[in-house]
Structure 1
Amino acid sequence: MTTSDGTVQGRTQIHGTAPRNRAFTVVLLGDGFTAAQQTAFDTACTDFVTALTTTAPYDRIGRSINIWRVNVASTDTGADDPVAAGGTGATARTYFDSTFGGNGIRRLLVCNNSTALQTAAAQVPEFTVALVVVNSTVYGGSGGSVGTYSLAGGATEIAIHELGHSAYGLADEYAYYAGGNETGHDTHPAGEPAEPNVTLKTDRSSLKWGWAVAPTTALPTMSNPNCATVDSRPSTVPAGTPGCFEGAHYYHCRSFRPEHNCKMRELGTPFCQVCRQVIQARTKVTKNICALTPGRDAVYRYDGSGTSWTRIGGPAGRLYAGGWGLVATNPSSGDLYRYLGTPDSWQYIGSAGATFAVADDTVYGLTPSKDAVYRYNGSGSSWTRIGGPAGQLYAGGWGLVATNPSSGDLYRYLGTPDSWQYIGSAGATFAVNDDTVYGLTPGKDAVYRYDGSGNSWTKVGGPAGQLYAGDWGRGLVATQPGSGDLRSYLGTPDTWKVIGIAGASFAVATDSVYRLAPASDAVYRYTGSGISWSKVGDAAHSIVAGDI
C-alpha cells in the first residue's frame, strides 16, 4: 500500500547508446513483483523493448531512445482490484500502490504517481517518461504524468498506447469512455482539445494536421449518422488516408480523429501518420535547426520555441547536418569540424573536401579533386576510402548515394569499400530521406522515387525547382519551378499540397519545415496548417537540419 511494502533493488540500462544528456529516456518500474519474481519483471521489460523498437515510427528513431529497468520488490503480487469497479476485491501490498478501477472503470489502472516519479528521478535523473509495469493478468493501463500497464494479453500493445499519452500528450481516439454507448457522450462539448491528434474543427485552412490531408480528401471525411451510438462502419476511404473522421476523445460526434484507425483508437493497429509525426518530433530531443550568420562569422542553434537561438560556434564556411550530427568547414582552410553538443565545443575530424554529406551513422566526404569518396571512421581524424571519383554526394537515413562525374548516373553505397550499386540515370538533383532517394529529371520536368531494387523508379510528381528531404511528413518537399512555392509530397504519386511561398532555401527537420526568406533576412517555421508560417529567426546565410 505504501513504500514500506517493498524496496528498490536497482537500475539497469537495457536499450540504447544515446548520450544520456541528449536521449529520450524511458524508465520501466516494476510493481507487484515480489523478490522471487524479479526475473518475470526482467522478461516483461525485454518484451517491451522488442515491441517498441519494431513499432513504427520507433523502428526508425530507436537510436534516440535509452530504456532503463528499475527493479522493485513488492511484498505481494499483483494490484488492488476493487469490487466496486467490477473487480475481485483483491488487495495487494505493493510499492507503488497500483490499483484497478480508477474513476470506477476496472480497466483504468492507476498508481501513486508521486512515488513513481520520485523513484524514476532518483534512479535515472535524466528520465523523460516513467511507465509502471504491474504484475497482473487483469487487463488495464492508463496514461498521464506516469503511464501504467498490466501483463494482460497484448501487454506491450497496452504499454505503447499508454506511452502515447504519457510521453507525447496524445489523446484517445475512440468514441466512448466506459467501454460502450454510455449516456452523456453523444456530442463533444465546445472547446478545441489541446491534444495534437483530436479536433473539433474541419476547416481545411486551420486543421491542426492539415499538412497531411490531400486537397482532394473531403472534410469531414466520415460523419457519424447517429450520434446516439459509436459509428462502427468501415472506412469509406483507403486505409491510411488522413482526413477528419467523426468520433474521438470519448464522444460519438463533433470530435474528429486524423485517420479511420490508429493505435490510439485500437490496440494492434499502427499509429496514424499524425501520431507518428508527433512521436518522431518529440522523441528526438536534440535541437534540429542551425543557421550560419550572414557574414558567416558564427553558428547558431535554434532553441525550439519563439525566436530564441544559442550561439554554438564561430566562423564557418559551410554547414552540413543529418542524423549523425552537425559538421562545419573552416572558412580559411576548409578543414572539417564536428559539433560536440555544447557551445564552442568542436572537434577537428578531417581536412578539406569538395563537399560532404551527413547520414545517420557518419559523415562522408569527396576529395577536393573529386577523385575519391571517403567515410569518417568515428574517432580522431581517421577516414576510409570507400569509392572512386564522384560528382556529388547525397545522404540521409536511407544511406549514401553518389553521382558518376561523367555520366551523372546514380550509385548507392552498399556498406563496404568500393561496393556500389547502379540504381538510376542522371538527374538534375537528388534528395535522400529515411526510406529512399528521390530524383528530379535533368529537364526538371518530373520527380521520381526509387523503388528500392534494381534501377526501378516511380514518377511521383511533375516539374520542380529543387528537392528537400528529411523526417517531417512523408519526407519530401519540392519547390515549384515558376513561383518557387513549396509543396509537400503526401505519399502517393501526383499527390502534393502547397504549404508555403518561395524561399532562398528550405530545411526539413523532424518537427516541421524551415524556410530562409528569399532575401535571406529571416527564418520561418511551418505551422502545419494551410500555408501559415511563423517567424523564428532573423537574417542568415544558410540553414541546416539534423540531430544537433
Structure 2
Amino acid sequence: MTTSDGTVQGRTQIHGTAPRNRAFTIVLLGDGFTAAQQTAFNTACTSFVTALTLTPPFNRMARTINIWRVNVTSTDSGADDPAGAGGTGATARTYFDSTFGANGIRRLLVCDNSTALQTAAAQVPEFTVALVVVNSTIDGGSGGSVGTYSLAEGAVEVALHEIGHTAYGLADEYAYYSGAENETGHDYHPAGEPVEPNVTLNTSYTSLKWGWAVAGTTALPTMANPNCAKVDTRPSTVPAGTVGCFEGAHYYHCRAYRPEHNCQMRELGNWFCTVCAQVIQARTKVAKNVCALTPNKDAVYRYDGSGTSWTKIGGAAGQLYAGAWGLVATNPGSGDLYRYLGTPDSWQLIGSAGASFAVGTDTVYGLTPSRDAVYRYNGTGSSWTRIGGAASQIYAGGWGLVATNPSSGDLYRYLGTPDEWVYIGKAGASFAVAGDALYALTPSRDAVYRYDGYGTTWTKIGGPAAQIYAGEWGRGLVATNPVTGGLKAYLGVPDAWKVLSGPGASFAVATDAVYRLTQAKDAVYRYSGKGILWARIGDAAHSLVAGDI
C-alpha cells in the first residue's frame, strides 16, 4: 500500500551505450514482485527491450536509447483489483500501490505516480520516462506522467502503447472509452482542438497538423462514420498506409479524426502509423538537430531548437558534415578534420584532409585527397582503417555507406569488411542515404529511384528533380523542382509527392523537420509540418547540416 511495503534493491542498465547526458532514457520499475520474484521482473524487462528494439521506428534509433531496470521488492505479489470495477476485490501490499479499476474501468491500471517518479529520479537522475511493470496476469495499463502495464498476454504490446502516451504525448485513437461499441455520450467529440499530435477535429489541407504526410489526391475526411451512434468498424476504404483523416478517435465516434485507418495507438498489434512514428523519432532524439556555418565561414552555430536562438559552438571551418554519429568540420587552412564533442568550442582533431567526408550512424568515412581510397574512422585518436579503393564520391546514413566508381560512376555498397563492396547500380547525378533506404537521381536528373534492397533492382518513385536530400524526417526524402527550385516531400508511394515550399539555396533534413536556407542565403527557415508554412529561425548562413549535434 505504501513504500513501507517494499524495498528498492538497485538499478541495472540493460540496453544502450549512448552518453547518459545525450540519451533518451527509459526506466522500468517493478511493482508487486516479491523478493523471490525478481527473476520474473528481470525477464519481463528483457522482453520489453526485445519488443521495443524490433518495433519501428525504435528499431532505427536503438543507439540513442538507454534502458534501465530498477528492481523493487513488494510485500505481496500482484496489485489491487477492486470489486467495484469488476475485479476480484483483492488487495496487495506493494511499493508503488498499483491498482486496476481506475475510473471504474478494470483494465485501467494506475500506480502512485509521485513515488514512481521520485524513485526513477533517485536511481537514474537523467531518466526521460518511467514505466511501472506490474506483476499481474490481468490485462491492464495506462499512460500519463508514469506509464504502467501488467504481465497479461500481449503485455509488451500494451507497454509500447502506453509509452506512446507517457513518452510522446500521443492520444488514444480508438473511438470508445469503456470499450462498448455503441456506448452513449461518445457520439460527437466536443469542440476544441486536441493538443495531442495524432488526433484532430480539423480536415483542412492547409492547416491539418499532419498535412505534410497527406497527398493532394487523398480526400479529407478520408473515411466518415455513417452512424455516429456507434464505432465505425468497417475495413479501410483506401489502401493501407494512406494518411488522411479517418473519423473516430480520442474516445468519440464522430468529429474527431486519426491519421491512418489503424495504428498501435488505436489497436494493439499494429505498427505505429506514419504520423505517430514521426513524433516518436523527433522526440526520442535528445541531441540538437541543425548547425549552420556563418556567411564568411568564421564560426559554427548550433540551433537551440526553438524560436530564433542559436549557440556558437566553434570557430572558422571549411565545411561541415553531420549525421547520426555527430558533427565534424574541416579546418579552413589545413583541411584537417575535427569532431565536435558536445560542448561549445570543444573539438577533437581526428584526421587529416580529405576530398570529402560522410557521417554514418557509428562513425565517419573519408575519401583521400587524391580520391584513391576510402577510409573509416576507428573511433579513437586519429586512427583510420582503409576499407576501399578509388571512389569519386561517398554517401553515408542510417542505411549504410555507398561510393561511386571514379571511371564509370557505378554505385557500390560497403558490406562492412575492408575491400568488400558489392555493385548495386549504375551512375547517377546524385545519391542520398536515409535511415532505411537509398535514393538516386538519374544522370539526366529526369527521375528519382529508390533501391529495392537487393541485387541491382531499383524502383522509380518520382519525376525530374534538381537535387535530393535524405534524412529521418517524414518518409525520409525531399527533392527540389528543376524548374522552380521548390521543395517537395516523398510520401512513400511512387509518384506521390507533396509541395512544401518555394526555392532555397539548400535544405537539411533533420529528425524533427526540414530546414531551408533561402536563395539569397540571408535567412534560415524551419518547416511547420502544415501546408507550405515555414517559420524563420535564423539569419544569414553559408550552409546548413542536420544530424545528432
Could you report, residue by residue, the CA deviation over 1:15-67 in whole angstroms, capped at 9, with x for unpaired residues? Answer: 00000000000000000001111001000000100111101111111111000
Q: Could you say which residue in structure 2 is the equivalent of 1:57? A: 57
Alpha-carbon separation, structure 1, partners of 2:68 and 2:342:
23
Amino acid in the other structure paired with 1:495: A
The alignment partner of 2:61 has SS state of: helix
**Paired position in structure 1 for 2:370:** 369
Structure 1 residue 131 displacement after superposition: 0.2
1:263 alignment partner AA: Q
Deviations 1:399-433 (A, max 9, x none): 11111111111111111111111111111111111
Structure-1 separation of matches of 2:30 and 2:247: 38
> Residue 109 of structure 1 aligns with which residue?
109
What amino acid is the match of 1:341? G
- What residue in structure 1 maps to residue 395 of structure 2? 394
Q: C-alpha deviations, 1:144-190, integer Å up to 9, x for none? A: 00000011110000011000000000000000001112211000000
The superposition leaves residues 470-489 of structure 1 with CA deviations (integer Å, 9 ceiling, x where unpaired) of 00111100000010000101
| Amino acid across the alignment from 2:236 | S
Correspondence for 1:178 = 178
Secondary structure of 2:178's match? coil
In the other structure, the counterpart of 2:218 is 217
Equivalent in the alignment of 1:98: 98
Tell whether 2:509 aligns with 1:508: yes
Where does 1:310-329 land on structure 2 (aligned, <5 Å)?
Answer: 310-329=311-330
The residue that corresponds to 2:42 in the other structure is 42
Cα deviation for residue 436 of structure 1 reads: 2.1
What do the CA deviations read for 1:206-251 (whole angstroms, capped 9, x no partner)? 1100111111111100000000000000000111111100000000
- Distance, in Å, in 2 between the alignment partners of 1:388 and 1:269 is 44
Q: For 1:492 and 1:94, how far apart are their aligned partners in 2? A: 51
Amino acid at match of 1:326: L
Name 1:472's counterpart in structure 2.
473
Q: Distance in 2 between matches of 1:28 and 1:364?
A: 37
Aligned match of 2:534: 533
Once the two structures are superposed, the pairs formed by residues 61-76 of structure 1 within 5 Å of their partners are 61-76=61-76
Per-residue CA shift, 1:60-102, capped at 9, x if unaligned? Answer: 1111100000000000111111111111100011000001111
Residues in 2 aligned to 1:33 and 1:106: alpha-carbon distance in whole angstroms: 20
What secondary structure sits across from 1:25 in the alignment?
A: strand
Q: Counterparts in 2 of 1:95-174, with a 5 A limit? A: 95-174=95-174
1:385 lines up with 2:386 in the alignment: yes
Q: Secondary structure at the match of 1:501?
A: strand
TM-score, normalised via structure 2 length:
0.99
Instruction: State how 1:14-33 maps to structure 2 within 5 Å.
Output: 14-33=14-33
Summarize the alignment of residues 373-522 of structure 1 with structure 2, pairs less than 5 Å apart: 373-522=374-523
Amino acid at match of 2:512: D
**How far apart are the structure 2 equivalents of 1:182 and 1:452?**
47
Quote the residue 1:227 is aligned against: 228
2:545 matched to which residue of 1?
A: 544
Q: Does 1:189 align with 2:190?
A: yes
Question: How far does residue 385 in structure 1 lie from its aligned partner after superposition?
Answer: 0.8
**CA shift at 1:465, angstroms?**
0.4
For 1:426, give the aligned amino acid.
Answer: A
- The one-character-per-residue Cα deviations of 1:107-161 (angstroms, maximum 9, x if unpaired) are 1101000000000000000000000000011111000000000111100000110
Partner Cα distance (2:251, 2:20) in 1: 37
Query: 1:389 and 1:490 mapped to 2: Cα distance?
Result: 35
SS in 1 for 2:283: helix
Output the amino acid matched with 2:313: I
Provide the C-alpha distance between the structure 2 equivalents of 1:361 and 1:118, rounded to a whole number of angstroms. 34
| Secondary structure of 2:117 counterpart | helix
Alignment gaps of 5+ in structure 1: none
CA separation in 1, counterparts of 2:74 and 2:461? Answer: 57
Q: 1:469 and 1:205 mapped to 2: Cα distance?
A: 24
What letter is aligned with 1:6? G
Q: Using the alignment, how far apart are the partners of 1:4 and 1:437 within structure 2?
A: 56
> SS at 2:50's partner residue?
helix
- One-letter amino acid of the structure 2 residue matched with residue 102 of structure 1: A
Question: d(CA) in 2 for partners of 1:115 and 1:406?
Answer: 65
AA partner of residue 90 (structure 1): A
Distance in 1 of aligned mates of 2:387 and 2:471 = 25
Could you tell me how far apart the structure 1 residues matched to 2:46 and 2:540 are?
48
Mapping of residues 344-359 of structure 1, within 5 Å: 344-359=345-360
Ranges in structure 2 where 5+ consecutive residues have no aligned partner: none
Partner of 1:2: 2
For 1:493 and 1:28, how far apart are their aligned partners in 2?
41
CA distance in 2 between partners of 1:77 and 1:443 (Å)? 68
Q: Match of 1:538, as an amino acid?
A: D
Query: Partners of 2:436 and 2:337 in 1: how far apart?
Result: 28
Note the aligned Cα RMSD (angstroms).
0.6
**Residue aligning to 1:268:** 269
Structure 1 length normalisation: TM-score?
0.99
Code of the residue aligned with 2:417 in structure 1: it is: T
How many residue pairs are counted as aligned between the two chains?
A: 548
How big is the shift at 1:435?
1.8
CA distance in 2, matches of 1:91, 1:449: 57
Deviation per CA, 1:452-478, whole angstroms, max 9, x where unpaired? Answer: 111111111110000000001111000
Supply the distance in 1 between the matched residues of 2:91 and 2:538 (Cα, whole angstroms): 57
